[in-house]
Amino acid sequence: MVQENLTLAIEILGTIAFAMSGSFAAMQKRLDPFGILIIAFVTSVGGGTVRDLLLDVPVFWMHDMIICSVVFITCIVSMIFKSVEKRFRVTLFIFDSIGLGLFTIVGIQKGMNADLNPLICITLGTITGCVGGISRDILLNKIPLIFRKEIYATACIVGGGIFLILVKYTTLSYAFVQIFTILLIVAIRTFAVKYEWQIPKFYGVDDNAEM
């Protein structure tokens, strides 16, 4: 029962974090309240929707008004918070990183519950963590973070791999492993941006010529 409650709390916190992320990204683009709500909703449920479709199970938010209510309330709060919060970029980064960590673990656990291969579980975790942000950026006419040189999906993969190793090969409590790997993913993302860790990028022929 405790484990189920913790998992539900992680999912709700992830929804809040990504709803905040979507709201602030939409406000950066000066969208109206309806547009902000749409972006917040897509950011919050996009990854989980794709995950559930791949698992061939009912899409989680269509049978859970709690999630929809959380998105709506968070969106309203973010618009109120906007009046005192001016550093959109920092706020967006914080909530996006937190949501990334929380939803990655939710996605991995869904895969584990379906008895899938560990690599598939990590893939589902990455999809759950990243697709909402991808959808948000595409709708806002931005290059998604996952396709830039910043460490993003890599944080999900590393954190997800460590999560599975700790669950399978250690006697640490499941709750501790959940919290530890969530914080690890957030830390990887934060340090990657702070210290400019980057994945090598490829250059086209014209780019090389200019160099």
Distance between CA atoms of residues 81 and 58, nearest Å = 34
What residue has token string 């959808």?
135
Distance between CA atoms of residues 40 and 46, nearest Å = 10
Tokens found for residue 66: 């709690």
pLDDT in tens, 33-74: 999 999 999 999 999 999 999 999 999 999 888 999 999 999
pTM: 0.87
pLDDT in tens, 167-205: 999 999 999 999 999 999 999 999 988 887 777 666 655
Q: At a CB cut-off of 8 Å and minimum separation 6, what does 45 contact?
A: 15, 60, 61, 67, 71, 132
